[in-house]
Structure 1
Amino acid sequence: MRQHPSTPLSTRIKRAALWLDAWLNSFLFQSGRGLASAYESYSEKMKSLRFRGPLRVVLDLTSEATTLGTAGGIVMLALALPAFRETEDDWLKTQDLAVTFVDRYGQEVGRRGLHLDDSYKLEDFPDYMIKAALSTEDRRFYDHWGIDPIGTMRALVVNTQGGGVVQGGSSITQQLAKNLFLTNERSLERKIKEAFLAVWLEFHLTKDEILKLYLDRAYMGGGAHGVVAAADYYFGKPAKDLTLAESAMLAGLFKAPTKYAPHVNLPAARARANEVLRNMVEAGFLTEGQIQTARRNPATPVSRERETTPDFYLDWAFEQVKALAAEKKFGTERVLTVKTPLDTSLQRHAEELLESELRQNGRQYRAGQGAIVVMDVDGAVRAIVGGRDYGQSQFNRATNGLRQPGSSFKPFVYAAALTTNPKLKPSSTVVDAPICLGNWCPQNYGRSYAGSMPLVSALARSINSIPVRMSVEIGKGNAKAGRTVIIDTAKRMGLTHPLANEAPLPIGAAEVTPIDMASSYAVFANGGYRADPYAAWEVRNSSGEVIYRHDRDTPPKQVLETRVVNDMNFMLNKVVTEGTGRRAGLEGIPTAGKTGTTNAYKDAWFVGFTGNLVAAVWYGNDDSKPMNNMTGGTLPAHTWHEVMDFAHQNLEIRPIPGVDPGPFARVATSSRPAADQAQGPTSAFLAGTLSRKSFEVLGGIGTLFQSAERSISTAKESGVPRMTGSVEASRQVAMP
C-alpha cells in the first residue's frame, strides 16, 4: 500500500492562518451588517419620538438646564464645603459665656460674650431700636432667605449713582454670619463663605433668633459688643429704656462704629442718626411727623472723655477663656469674672507708642502696621497691641498675624545645636563661608563672609551661613533630618503653627505670630520652662467662688536643659551689648534678644527679654509690601526699648539665667504702682481687689523711702555722719 507523505508544519500554519483570516473577515462583516441594521432600527424608533416646534424648545432648554445645573451644583458644593466646615464645632455655644474681665489691680476693663444679653429677649428691646436696625441694615429681612438679591441690586444702583459705597448690600443674616464665623478680611473667598453661611443660618434658626443674635453680637465701638452694652456705654441706661433718638444713633453704628461713635465724633453721629430716621420713614415704620421730635432733640451720650478699652487684649483673652470652657475647666458655669495679668497703664503706653512711632517714622520706612506683646516670664500676658486702630480693623496681628521671623528664628537653631552637641559652647569656633543646599545658597546681609569666629559672635552678628551649617551638623550630614530636630525644638518651646521643613528654615523662612515668639523666648528668660501665653490668672463664678487658678491648674514643664539656657542667654545678651540689637539695650538692666529682618524688608522684628519680662515687636504691612530698609535693629529695637523701659519702672530687677548681673541690677523710680514688683500668679495681690489708687499710694511710700535713701547717700558722700538706725542705701550705680 502506497503511503502519502505528511504535510509539512509550515504548510499547516499557513492554512490555519488563512482560515483564521477568513473567519475574522466574515465575523466583522456580519457584525457590521448587524450593527447597521440595529442602528437603522434605532433611528426609525427615535424618529417616532422626535419633537418639533415649541415642545422641542422646551425639551432642549430642560436638557441644557439639567446639564448646567448638575455642573453648577458640583461647583456650588465645592465652594460651600469650606464655609460649612466653620460650623463643625458647637458654633452657637462658642460665645455662650458672660465674661467680665478685670486687670491685675482688680478693676473692670471690659466684657465679652453675651454681656447680660441672656436676660434680654427680643421683645424686651424697644420697638424703635428694632425698626431702626431693620430700616437701615435690612428692610426685607423677614422676606428673604439669607441673601437679598433685591436689596443687593438696590445697593449697587445707589452706590453707582453716589460714586462710592453709600449703601451696603449685605443682609443682617450675612453680617451675623461674618460676626459668628469669619473675619473682616476683604476678599472674594470671605464673601462666598459669608453667603453660604447666611443660607445655612436661615435653615437652622428662626428670623427672630437671627435678629436677636445680631443685636447681641455686633461690635458698636468703644469696646461695646451688642445693643445692651452699647446702650450702657453711650447713654448709661438699659437698652429697654432707649428713646427714638438714641435708638437711631445706635443703629447708625452697626457698619461704621468708629466713624460714627458719638463719644468720638458727636456731629457725625447725629448726622448719621438723621439718616436712620429718614430710613425709618422710607421703610414705612414711622411717619415724618413722628420723627420730628427726635430730630429737634438729638441724643446726647454720657461723657466718656474719649475712654479707650484694651480691645485687642480682651478679644484674645476671651478666646482663651472659651478654650478653657471647652476643656470643662469651669464645669457648667457660664457667668464668669476673669482676673487677668493686664497692666492697663502699660497697655495704654504701648498703644500710644506704636501709633506715635508709625506716625513719625511710618512714611520714611513705608511701614503701615505693627504689633507688640509684653508678658511675664511665665507667660502671663501684660499687654497686647494688635494694630494701630481697633475700630478700623479688629484683626489682631499680635496673636493671629502669621509673618516670617527672619533672623529672630535663629535662637531655635542654636538651642537645638547646643542640645544635640553638649561639646558645643559659645566660645566654640565656627566658620562663616559659602554653603549651598541643592540650588539654594544663603548669603549674609552684607553679602560677604567673615571666616572663623566664636559661636557667640555668629549669633551677635546674625550670620546666615552658620545656622544653615548647624542644620547639617545636627542631622549628622542630613540637612532635612537636622531641620526636623530644629522644628521639634521650636514647637517644644512654644511655636504653635506648622513649620515647613525647607532649606531656608534655619534663617527664618517660616510663619509665626508675635505672641508665639514672645512665649518661646520666655523659655530662655525663665530657665527652660514652657511658658504658654495666658490671660486667666483667676476665674470666679457668679457667686464669687474661685473655680480656676492658672498656677494651681497648669503645672510647669521643662523643655530646655539649664546648660543650654545659660549658654543661649549669654549669647543673646551679646546681641544687645555688641551685636545687631544695641538700640534695645536698657540702662542698668541685663537684656537679651534677637533682631529679625526678612527678604525685601517685608518684616522687621525684635524679640527680647530681661529676668522680669519678655516682649516681641513686629513692623510691616498687611499686604506684605516691602518696607524701606527697615531692619530689626532699627525701629523694632527702639520700640522694644521704649516699651520695656516703661514696663520695668518700679520692678525689682531679676537676673537673667546665665548672664552675670554684675553692676546691672537697678531699682527704678516712677509713680507707677509699686505692686507691679509682684511677678506671676502667686503674688500676694492676686486674690485681692485693691484699687489702682491704693497701689499708687503704696508706690508713693516706696518713692519716699527712695528719696530718704538718696538723701542718706548724699550726706555720706559729703562727710555728714550717718544717724544710727538709718536705712542703708541699696540702689546700685548703673553701668553706663
Structure 2
Amino acid sequence: MTAQGPDRPGEDGTETRAAAREAARAAALLARQLGRLAGSAGRSVWRSGTAAARGAAREAAPVLARTRTRLRATGHRDAAAAPVAETVPQAPRRSTRLPRRPWLLGLAVLVGLPLVILAGYVFAAFATLPPLGGAAPEAGQRALVVEAESGRSFATRGAFQGERLTEKTLPPRLAQAIVAIEDRRFYSHWGIDLRGMARAVWRNATGGGVREGGSTITQQYARLTSLTQEKTLKRKIQEAFLALRLESTLSKPEILVGYLNTAYFGAGAYGADAAARRYFGHGAEGLTLPEAAMLAGLVRAPSQLAPTRNFGGAKERADLVLQAMVETGAISQAEADKARAAKLTLHTPPETPPGTNYFLDALQGEVKRLTEAAGDVTVRSTLNLELQSLAEGVLARRLDAEGGKKKVGQGALVALAPDGAILAMVGGRDYEDSQFNRATQAKRQAGSLFKLFVYLAAYGKGFTPDSVLVDRPTQIGEWEPQNANNRFRGALPLRSAFALSVNTIAAQLGEEVGIASVIAEARRLGVQSDLPEVPSLALGSADVSLLEMTRAFAGVLGPGVPVEPYLVRTIRGSGPQALYQRPAPKAGSPMDSQVQSMMLDSLQAVVESGTGKAARVGGLAVGGKTGTSQDFRDAWFIGLTPDMIVGVWVGNDDNAPMNKVTGGDIPARVFHDFVERAQKVLKGRKRPAPSAARAEPVPASAVAPAPSPATGEVRGVPEVVDTGTLTIRGRTVHLLGVVGEGGALARQLARYLRRREVVCSGEPAGLRCRLDGDDLAALIVTAGGARASEDAPSDLIEAEDQARAERAGLWQRER
C-alpha cells in the first residue's frame, strides 16, 4: 500500500472543492438568468427569453470547461455533476443585469397579472359556492283573488304559488315553447352553451344593447334556486359551476320542470301553474298553444311584460315565441298563424283599480282573521265597483274644485248597506301618494256629529223632539260652550236645536242625562275609541274614526245595534267546499222603536231645514248630521237613505285649520253628489264597470246615448284644436260638456280621428258628435282625454269618474 502525502495533487481534496465551487457558481448564474424569464408570456417574450438563456449559457461555459478539466486531472470524473451544498460566492455583477429589453418584463406583467387575478377570482367563487337550492324562496303570502259583490274579479294580492308540475303533468306545448325561446340547445348542451353565449354576445354587440341573454335554462334554474339576482362576475361564475353540478345530478326533464315551477311570470305568479291560474283562470294542464306561448314569453321580463300591465307587449312577445317554435320544428307555420289569430281573454283585470287599494288593505287583514288555510284563495267581497268608482270621482272632483281655495287637502268616504256591508271606501285623495286609510285609521274630533248620542240618551230618558230648552249662555264647571255664530236663539224645541246644531242646548242635555249615559249610547252603537267622561264630550271633543261613526249612524236605521261593518261574503280555496261563508246576521239588541222614530225625525230635520241643506236629494228621504271641530280642523257629514249610510270627512293630515269649512259645506255636497247618482246604480241602471286600465275599452254607447239627428248637422273629417274643440269644414265645433286639453292628448286624438268622419248635431254652444255610432265626447272623457265641465250631462260626469278611478289619460298622476 502506498501512502499519500499532502503535497500530491488532489490528495487533500483542495482542488476538488475548488472545482465544485466553480460548478455551483456557474449553475447559480444560469438559474438566475432563467428565473428572470420564467414569468414572461407571448411568443416574442419566449423567443427573447430563449436567446437570453443561450447568452447566459455562453457566459457560464468557460467556467464549466475549466471545472471539468481540473476534475479529470484529479481523477473525479463525476464531481462536476454532484450536488453542491456549500454556499457559493455571488456571481459577477455583470451576469446579474436585467435583460437587454426591459419592456418585455412590463408586457409580461400586463399579460400575466390579470390571468393570475382571474384565476384567484374563479377559485374564490368556487370556494364560496352555495349548496344547490340554498336560496330557494320560501312560500310567500298566499294570493288573494278579490271579487266584487257582483262576482267580477277586480284585484289580486299576494304571491300565487299554484300546483307544482311534474314530468307527467308538464304540458308539452309549454315545454316546447320555453325551450324554443329560452334555450334551443337545452337537450344537447351540458349546462353551459358556449355557442349560445357567443351568439348572444354578437347580437347584443350588433344590436346596440342587451337584446339576448346567454344563460341556459339550467343556469337560470341554478340562479333561481341557489343564488341572488345581483349582476356580478362572481355570480355568473358560480352560476356556471352550479349548472354543471345540476346537469350531473338531474335529468333534462327534471331540470325543465324545476325551472317552470320556480320561475316568476309577473303579477305575483311564481311557477307556470300559478301563472296559468292568475292570467287564464285554469291550471297549466289546460293551457292552449297561444296561452303557452304567452307564458313562455314572460320569463325574460315578467314585470314589464305581465299581460295585466302590458297586454300588447305580452302579445307581441308571444308571437315571437310562436315563430321560434316554428323555427325549431315544434309546430308548423299554419299552427302558429292560427295561434296568433286566436283571442286571448284574461281571467282577472289587467290592473287593480288604484282607488280600491284602501278597501283591499282592510280586506286582506279581515281574510287573515277569518281563515288561516294555506294556498291561494278567492274572496267574494262586498264592494260595489260602480259605487266605488263614483265615490272616488265625486270626492276628487270636489277637492279639485274647492280644496285649494278652502285649504282642504284630504278627504274620505265610506258607504254602508243597512246590514253593515261596506259598499265603497275611499281612504284618501290618492293611494299612490299615501296608503294611510283616513276612513279606518285616522282618529279626529267628531264635533257636533257626536250630538247623535246626546240626543239618543235624552230621548231615552223622556225628552222628545218637541221638548223645549233655552239657547242661552251656559257654564258647566269651568267650561263655557259657545255657539258657532256666537248668538243665542232663546227657547227652541229639541228638533230645531238638533237641526241647527245649537251647542249650548246639547251641553245642557249632556249635563241633564249625564255624560256616562252619552258614553253608554256611543258604546251601544259600536264606538270603540277612548271617550273621556268630561262635559265637552257632548260637543264631540273625543277622537273617533269615520268608519265607527258611520257604523253608529247605521244603527239608527237598522233593526238592531250595533251594526257590524264587514267586507267579506265568502272565501273559497282550491277545494269545492267554501273556507268561509258569512253567516246570517244576528240581530243586535233592538233600539226602542219610539226613540228610533224620534231620532230619525231629528236627522231628517237637519237636511230639510238645518245645517245639512246641501245634502238634500230630490225625491229621496234623507237624514243626517253635520260636524265641525274646533278651528275648522275637521268637517263631517254622515247621512242616511233607505238604501245606504254614507259618511264623509274632509280636513288636513297635519291637522291644519281649513278656511271656515263646516260639515254642511264640502262634506254635505260630496254626500249629495254621491247619493244622487248612486240611486241610478242601485235602481238597476248600471254604469260601465271600470275597464281595468283600459285593456278592453268600454264602448261609448254604453255610457251615453247617441244624439238624435237634427237640422243643421255638421258632418266631415275633423281637425283637432284641442280635445274638446274640432274644426269641420271650416266650422268650429265645441263638444257639449267637455273641457278640452291640448298638447299630447290633442295629438293623440288627432291620430285617432285621422280620416274618420264624425257627425255632430245640437245647439251651437255645444254639440254632441258621433263616431261610428258612439258618442265622441263620452269616448274622449272615458279615456281621460278631457275633463267634464261643471254643467256637463250626467253621463259625461260619470265617464270622468271612471277615468279618474282608472288613472286614465290626464288622470295618470293627477293630484
What is the SS of the residue equivalent to 1:338? strand
C-alpha distance in 2 between matches for 1:535 and 1:466: 38
Q: In the TM superposition, what whole-angstrom CA distance separates every residue of 1:229-256 from its partner, at most 9, and x where no partner exists?
A: 999789x999996555556899xxxxxx
Structure 1 residue 558: deviation in Å? 2.0
* 498, 512, 516: which one aligns with 1:484: 516
* 468, 490, 495: which one aligns with 1:456: 495
Structure 1 residue 324: deviation in Å? 2.2
Structure 1 residue 226: deviation in Å? 8.2
What is the SS of the residue equivalent to 1:484? helix
- 2:422 aligns with 381
Q: Does 1:473 align with 2:488?
A: no
Could you tell me which amino acid in structure 2 is paired with residue 502 of structure 1? V
Could you tell me which amino acid in structure 2 is paired with residue 367 of structure 1? V
C-alpha distance in 1 between matches for 2:653 and 2:536: 23
- 2:463 aligns with 424
C-alpha distance in 1 between matches for 2:395 and 2:220: 40
* 146, 151, 166: which one aligns with 1:101: 146
Structure 1 residue 129: deviation in Å? 8.3
What is the SS of the residue equivalent to 1:427? coil
Q: In the TM superposition, what whole-angstrom CA distance separates every residue of 1:441-490 from its partner, at most 9, and x where no partner exists?
A: 1100001111111000010000111221112111xxxxxxx222211211
The verdict on how the C-alpha distance between 1:243 and 1:570 changes in structure 2, with shifts beyond 3 A counting, is same
C-alpha distance in 1 between matches for 2:650 and 2:398: 10
Q: In the TM superposition, what whole-angstrom CA distance separates every residue of 1:344-376 from its partner, at most 9, and x where no partner exists?
A: 011011112222221111101111111010110
- 1:506 aligns with 538
- 1:401 aligns with 442
The verdict on how the C-alpha distance between 1:127 and 1:629 changes in structure 2, with shifts beyond 3 A counting, is farther
The verdict on how the C-alpha distance between 1:638 and 1:537 changes in structure 2, with shifts beyond 3 A counting, is same
Q: Does 1:670 align with 2:685?
A: yes
CA contact (8 A) 2:526 2:563 kept: yes
The verdict on how the C-alpha distance between 1:617 and 1:127 changes in structure 2, with shifts beyond 3 A counting, is farther
* 310, 315, 328: which one aligns with 2:361: 315
Q: In the TM superposition, what whole-angstrom CA distance separates every residue of 1:80-108 from its partner, at most 9, and x where no partner exists?
A: xxxxxxxxxxxxx9995443221111111
**Structure 2, unpaired ranges of 5+:** 1-137, 166-217, 236-262, 281-290, 314-345, 690-697, 706-815
Which segment drifts farther, 334-343 or 614-623?
334-343
- 2:385 aligns with 344
Structure 1 residue 516: deviation in Å? 1.2
What is the SS of the residue equivalent to 1:470? helix
Q: How many residues align?
A: 428
The verdict on how the C-alpha distance between 1:125 and 1:322 changes in structure 2, with shifts beyond 3 A counting, is farther
- 1:626 aligns with 657
- 2:604 aligns with 573
Structure 1 residue 338: deviation in Å? 2.1
- Map 1:157-168 to 2 at 5 A: none
The verdict on how the C-alpha distance between 1:119 and 1:317 changes in structure 2, with shifts beyond 3 A counting, is farther
The verdict on how the C-alpha distance between 1:621 and 1:353 changes in structure 2, with shifts beyond 3 A counting, is same
Q: Does 1:356 align with 2:397?
A: yes
CA contact (8 A) 1:95 1:322 kept: no
CA contact (8 A) 2:155 2:349 kept: no
- Map 1:227-626 to 2 at 5 A: 242-243=298-299, 245-246=301-302, 308-309=353-354, 310-325=356-371, 332=373, 335-419=376-460, 421=461, 423-474=462-513, 482-552=514-584, 554-558=585-589, 560-626=591-657
Structure 1 residue 440: deviation in Å? 1.8
Structure 1 residue 620: deviation in Å? 0.7
What is the SS of the residue equivalent to 1:649? helix
- 2:59 aligns with none
C-alpha distance in 2 between matches for 1:393 and 1:124: 40
Structure 1 residue 305: deviation in Å? 7.9
Give the number of the structure with larger relative contact order, counting CA–CA contacts within 8 Å between residues 6 or more apart.
1
- 2:761 aligns with none
Q: In the TM superposition, what whole-angstrom CA distance separates every residue of 1:325-357 from its partner, at most 9, and x where no partner exists?
A: 37xxxxx56543222221101101111222222
Structure 1 residue 131: deviation in Å? 12
CA contact (8 A) 1:528 1:565 kept: no
Structure 1 residue 320: deviation in Å? 1.8
Q: In the TM superposition, what whole-angstrom CA distance separates every residue of 1:92-132 from its partner, at most 9, and x where no partner exists?
A: x9995443221111111222344437969xx9997888999
* 156, 169, 172: which one aligns with 1:111: 156
What is the SS of the residue equivalent to 2:371? helix
C-alpha distance in 2 between matches for 1:305 and 1:649: 27
Structure 1 residue 672: deviation in Å? 4.4
C-alpha distance in 2 between matches for 1:226 and 1:445: 56
Could you tell me which amino acid in structure 2 is paired with residue 101 of structure 1? V
The verdict on how the C-alpha distance between 1:246 and 1:380 changes in structure 2, with shifts beyond 3 A counting, is closer
- 2:283 aligns with none
C-alpha distance in 1 between matches for 2:594 and 2:653: 39
Structure 1 residue 316: deviation in Å? 1.0
Which segment drifts farther, 499-508 or 405-414?
499-508
The verdict on how the C-alpha distance between 1:116 and 1:526 changes in structure 2, with shifts beyond 3 A counting, is same
C-alpha distance in 1 between matches for 2:275 and 2:634: 37
C-alpha distance in 1 between matches for 2:473 and 2:392: 43
- 1:69 aligns with none
CA contact (8 A) 1:530 1:559 kept: no
C-alpha distance in 1 between matches for 2:364 and 2:649: 23
Q: In the TM superposition, what whole-angstrom CA distance separates every residue of 1:19-51 from its partner, at most 9, and x where no partner exists?
A: xxxxxxxxxxxxxxxxxxxxxxxxxxxxxxxxx
C-alpha distance in 2 between matches for 1:397 and 1:118: 39
Q: In the TM superposition, what whole-angstrom CA distance separates every residue of 1:579-629 from its partner, at most 9, and x where no partner exists?
A: 000111111110000011111111111101111110001111111111111
The verdict on how the C-alpha distance between 1:105 and 1:248 changes in structure 2, with shifts beyond 3 A counting, is closer
- Map 1:680-719 to 2 at 5 A: none
Could you tell me which amino acid in structure 1 is paired with residue 500 of structure 2? R
Please report the TM-score for the alignment, with normalisation by the length of structure 2. 0.47
C-alpha distance in 2 between matches for 1:465 and 1:125: 74
Structure 1 residue 135: deviation in Å? 4.9
What is the SS of the residue equivalent to 2:635? strand
Larger radius of gyration: 2
CA contact (8 A) 1:347 1:382 kept: yes
Identical-residue share of aligned pairs (%) = 33
What is the SS of the residue equivalent to 1:383? strand
C-alpha distance in 2 between matches for 1:382 and 1:342: 5
- 1:3 aligns with none
Please report the TM-score for the alignment, with normalisation by the length of structure 1. 0.52
CA contact (8 A) 1:125 1:239 kept: no
C-alpha distance in 1 between matches for 2:629 and 2:573: 46
The verdict on how the C-alpha distance between 1:311 and 1:116 changes in structure 2, with shifts beyond 3 A counting, is farther
- 2:88 aligns with none
What is the SS of the residue equivalent to 2:677? helix
Q: In the TM superposition, what whole-angstrom CA distance separates every residue of 1:369-397 from its partner, at most 9, and x where no partner exists?
A: 11010110110110001111111111111
The verdict on how the C-alpha distance between 1:425 and 1:247 changes in structure 2, with shifts beyond 3 A counting, is closer
What is the SS of the residue equivalent to 1:596? strand
What is the SS of the residue equivalent to 2:563? coil
C-alpha distance in 2 between matches for 1:95 and 1:489: 44
Q: In the TM superposition, what whole-angstrom CA distance separates every residue of 1:241-272 from its partner, at most 9, and x where no partner exists?
A: 6555556899xxxxxxxxxx9769x9xxxxxx
- 2:42 aligns with none
- 2:61 aligns with none
* 640, 647, 669: which one aligns with 1:638: 669
CA contact (8 A) 1:124 1:240 kept: no
